[in-house]
């Protein structure tokens, strides 16, 4: 038969993981334990998950009581096993049992505080809350018994050997991440909470041209250091980044900027990423600056844009050429027609002028003989010209009007398809 109290406590703990994490972190910061704990969110979340796991298993198996017994073997208790494992881990890291137990008391307090949330006042009876309080106390008692038994089990020599091994491993981990930091090809600068340089990698030193005699460290504990960087704010070295830290707040922890700067008479296109350090323990409140030289990329983009403009211009010139060819093709017929009519009118005018000259000479004698006039008209073929000249003028006017129409239409619609030859 399922115990409703186990079900309710199981649901409460499983659903309030984030609340428990925030509670223990607040206690750690308030009482100074955060100085010795992780700076990242996930390790805190994992600590709550690991601690809650044996509790949830006990509740799910309907284990309604966790009372202690004098003959109990805690080494076989799955709840105490969590304390044994944590004792091994933290003892290897050089944590004293007093320091660990002190913080662990606040883990206990966070789970007990969970029972006092206002939202539980109407859904839990007084008897249920009393049972849950006792249950949580016994759960933490079992973990602490397992922890203390493990912590005091080994001899001093074994503990020293264990610490030496742990220190070597920690040194290797430190060197691993320092190597990664130095191996980054991008310049990276770490700032403290006031924007003062704390550490730079080799790429940043080379970029700042401050790697003198192969030493570019700004660590005051090292004798051979680059004195020119000690105590400098980021905006003393990079005035063009003035105010970038002020853009960050609790809601916006990362910002990026682009700057065009002159270095050694060369224009560089620099992207700067500024990020607040994600230290929830509040030990190292600072910032990270990462510089990316995008000069070559911007040059390629500029070249592509220039090529695009050139192609557009070439395309326009090609379109103009096609348009001109199309217009020439369309106006060719009416132009030839007008040209033929003008040739005809020119020849007709020449004949009329010759005839008029003959008649004018006769008129000077005072008379124009009828047979002369008849002969002139016959030579001129006047009936034909009288009919064809007006027609040629009319047709020429129509041809010119057609040319004008073609040109106007092309101006209004330059993409109009070309006629087939």
Structure tokens at 406: 């073609």
Q: How confident is the model at residue 221 (pLDDT cuts 50, 70, 90)?
A: low
Mean pLDDT, range 37-52, rounded to an integer: 87
Q: How many CB atoms lie within 10 A of CB 107?
A: 19
Residue 65: left (phi > 0), alpha (psi -120 to 50), or beta?
Answer: beta
Q: How confident is the model at residue 260 (pLDDT cuts 50, 70, 90)?
A: confident
Q: What is the DSSP letter of 266?
A: E
Q: How confident is the model at residue 343 (pLDDT cuts 50, 70, 90)?
A: confident
Torsion of CA 252, 254, 257, 262, to 10 degrees: 140
Q: How confident is the model at residue 76 (pLDDT cuts 50, 70, 90)?
A: confident
Checking if the pLDDT of 267 tops 80, the result is yes
Checking if the pLDDT of 213 tops 50, the result is no
Residue 176: the pLDDT is: 85
3-state DSSP call for residue 23?
Answer: helix
Q: How confident is the model at residue 118 (pLDDT cuts 50, 70, 90)?
A: low
Q: Yes or no: say if 193 and 185 are a contact pair by the CB < 8 Å rule.
A: no
Q: How confident is the model at residue 211 (pLDDT cuts 50, 70, 90)?
A: very low
- Provide the CATH topology of domain 186-293: Beta-Lactamase (3.30.450)
Residue 177: the pLDDT is: 82
Residue 400: the pLDDT is: 82
Q: Averaging pLDDT over each range in 71-75, 121-125, 234-238, which range is the top one?
A: 234-238
Q: How confident is the model at residue 413 (pLDDT cuts 50, 70, 90)?
A: low
Q: How confident is the model at residue 144 (pLDDT cuts 50, 70, 90)?
A: very high
More confident residue, 403 or 236: 236
Q: Which of 86, 24, 79, 92 is nearest to 52 (CA)?
A: 79
Residue 23: the pLDDT is: 94
- The DSSP bridge pattern shows strands 254-263 and 266-276 to be antiparallel
Calpha distance 27→356 (Å, rounded): 126
pLDDT digits (tens, 9 = 90+) for 294-308: 888 878 877 788 888
- CATH class, domain 4-152, is mainly alpha
Q: How many CB atoms lie within 10 A of CB 244?
A: 21
Calpha distance 271→321 (Å, rounded): 45
Mean pLDDT, range 44-52, rounded to an integer: 91
Q: Which of 26-30, 122-126, 128-132 has the lowest mean pLDDT?
A: 122-126
Mean pLDDT, range 401-419, rounded to an integer: 66
Q: Which of 355, 306, 236, 283 is nearest to 37 (CA)?
A: 283
pLDDT digits (tens, 9 = 90+) for 367-390: 777 777 777 777 777 787 778 788
Structure tokens at 280: 């929830």
In this prediction the pTM is: 0.58
């Amino acid at each position: 038969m399922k115990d409703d109290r186990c079900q309710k406590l199981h649901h409460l703990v499983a659903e309030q993981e984030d609340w428990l994490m925030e509670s223990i972190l607040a206690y750690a910061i308030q009482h100074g334990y955060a100085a010795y704990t992780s700076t990242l969110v996930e390790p805190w979340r994992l600590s709550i998950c690991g601690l809650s796991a044996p509790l949830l298993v006990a509740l799910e198996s309907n284990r309604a009581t966790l009372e202690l017994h004098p003959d109990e073997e805690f080494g076989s208790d799955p709840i105490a096993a969590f304390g044994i494992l944590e004792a091994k881990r933290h003892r290897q890291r050089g944590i004293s049992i007093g320091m660990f137990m002190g913080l662990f008391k606040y883990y206990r307090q966070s789970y007990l505080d969970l029972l006092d949330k206002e939202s539980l006042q109407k859904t839990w009876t007084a008897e249920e809350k009393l049972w849950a309080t006792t249950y949580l106390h016994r759960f933490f008692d079992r973990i602490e018994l397992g922890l203390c038994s493990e912590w005091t089990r080994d001899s001093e020599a074994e503990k020293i050997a264990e610490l030496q091994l742990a220190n070597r491993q920690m040194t290797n981990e430190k060197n691993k991440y320092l190597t990664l930091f130095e191996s980054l090809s991008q310049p990276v600068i770490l700032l403290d909470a006031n924007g003062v340089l704390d550490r730079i990698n080799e790429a940043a030193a080379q970029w700042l041209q401050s790697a003198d005699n192969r030493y570019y460290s700004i660590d005051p504990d090292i004798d051979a250091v680059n004195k020119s960087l000690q105590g400098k704010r980021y905006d003393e070295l990079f005035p063009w980044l003035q105010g970038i830290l002020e853009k960050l707040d609790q809601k916006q922890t990362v910002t990026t900027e682009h700057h065009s700067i002159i270095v050694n008479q060369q224009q560089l296109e620099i992207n700067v990423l500024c990020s607040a350090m994600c230290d929830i323990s509040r030990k190292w409140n600072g910032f990270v600056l990462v510089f990316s030289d995008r000069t070559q990329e911007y040059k390629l983009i500029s070249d592509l844009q220039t090529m695009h403009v050139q192609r557009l211009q070439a395309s326009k010139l090609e379109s103009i050429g096609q348009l001109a060819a199309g217009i020439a093709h369309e106006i060719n017929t009416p132009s030839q027609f007008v040209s033929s009519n003008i040739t005809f009118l020119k020849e007709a005018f020449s004949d009329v002028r010759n005839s008029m000259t003959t008649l004018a000479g006769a008129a000077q004698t005072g008379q124009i003989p009828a047979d002369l006039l008849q002969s002139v008209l016959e030579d001129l073929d006047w009936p034909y010209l009288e009919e064809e000249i007006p027609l040629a003028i009319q047709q020429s006017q129509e041809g010119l009007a057609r040319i004008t129409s073609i040109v106007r239409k092309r101006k209004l619609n330059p993409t109009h398809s070309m006629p087939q030859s």
